[in-house]
Structure formats: structure tokens, C-alpha cells
Amino acid sequence: MATHPQLQRQILEEVQQLTPDEQLTLIQELVALYQKQARKPRHSLLELEGLGAETWKGIDPQKYVDEERNSWDG
């Protein structure tokens, strides 16, 4: 299997055999493909809000932090 640089060179050699109109059509198709992939929604950290909330149910946050800090002192 060709590496990316090798594959790119092979593709470029093939593209150079196309007419200018065919090259332009290929460019337009590649741009459309890129734009379609670039439009995929990105995830936000806010989607994680509330995740694991049930783990902390009934636990006093300040008491937990105090106990955790006390454990650092040995």
C-alpha cells in the first residue's frame, strides 16, 4: 500500500493527464466533499453536563472536598 505522499504523487500524475475542464470538475467535487465533511457537527463539553450526577447524589460537596484534602496530609 502506498504511503500518503506516494499516493498523492500518483494521484497528481493521474490528474495531470486530465483536460483543464476535467481538472476543474475534479476540484469542484473535492471542494464539495471537503465542505460536506467539514460541516459535521462538533461536540461541545456542555454535552457532558450532568453526566454522572447520580454518582454524587446525597454527597455533601464541601464535606467530600474536606475529606479529600485531609487525605493528602496523610
pTM of the full structure: 0.49
How far is the C-alpha of 36 from the C-alpha of 46, rounded, in Å?
Answer: 24
pLDDT of residue 39: 80
Cβ(14)–Cβ(23) below 8 Å: no
Q: For the chain, what are the domain ranges?
A: 5-72
Confidence of residue 1 (pLDDT cuts 50, 70, 90): low
Average pLDDT, the chain: 91
Tens of pLDDT along 4-16?
A: 899 999 999 999 9
d(CA 17, CA 14): 5
